[in-house]
Amino acid sequence: MREVSFGQYYPSSSFVHKCDPRAKILFLIVYIVAIFLAQNFYALGACAAVFAVITIFSGVPFKSLLRSVKAILFLLLFTAVLNLFFYQGGTTLVQWGFIRIAKEAIYATIFLAVRLSLLVLGSSILTLTTTPVSLTDGIESLLSPLKWIRFPVHELALIMSIALRFIPILTDETSRIMNAQKARGADFETGSLLQRVKAIVPILIPLLISAFRRADELGDAMDARCYSGSKVRTKYKKLTFTWRDVLLFIVCIGLLTGVILLKIYTVALI
């Protein structure tokens, strides 16, 4: 669980790290839209090429990005089985009783797996190259027009930032609790499904207690520093767009335009 990279920050001074957090958030939104607009492997290939370029300029090791895929490995396998054995129509390759595998089902399974992987990898790039404070400032700045309707923008951005920051903390805490329980003779790997579920209870209870304790300590620390939300707060670092962000916007427009053109002028996969 400590190998899960989502929510963790990889310190560096790369091109992507120096980009404005607002530009990176907008790029991620456009990237996700492009992935869902992709209807064939050509469009997904364009998304994968852009992701590869961003990864190179981010300086983040590819191994750290692959760890984020481990978190959705079960989901990938589950959706792959559903698409492989329950796909309707197409050219039959294997027929054994009620089990039927079609040629189009294999293509659809690979397509969906690649789409989900690119989605998770792209989201991991944002958290790996942006500190929680910068991410909070970026979200608050992008949602600032909602302040006109008295929407608690600052509080929402703070909650999202704390939630992202707590992901690696809680996973590390879970690992420590499991190691402590194993040292006391607990077994989490053998037995029936019901026995394994019961074995998780000694982990969940200490984990919940630890999470509430950390939340209480965080609240006390914020009160001790006279934190009062967004009222009369100033920024130590002002967010400003640079030439890096302009270049990132150009890549966004190019990616979205390319995916739309590939969707129009090529044959859809599914």
Q: Tens-of-pLDDT digits for all 270 residues of the chain? A: 444 555 577 888 889 988 999 999 999 999 999 999 888 888 888 999 999 999 999 888 888 787 777 777 777 777 777 777 666 666 666 666 666 677 777 787 888 888 888 888 888 888 888 887 788 888 888 888 887 888 888 788 778 778 877 877 888 888 888 888 888 777 777 767 677 777 777 788 888 888 888 889 988 988 888 877 766 667 777 888 889 999 999 998 999 998 888 887 775 444
Residue 89's contacts (CB-CB under 8 Å, 6 or more residues apart) are 102, 104
**Residue matched to tokens 């669980």:** 1
> Where do the structural domains in the chain lie, given as residue ranges?
1-149+239-270, 153-229
Q: For the chain, how far is it from start to end, CA to CA, in angstroms?
A: 35
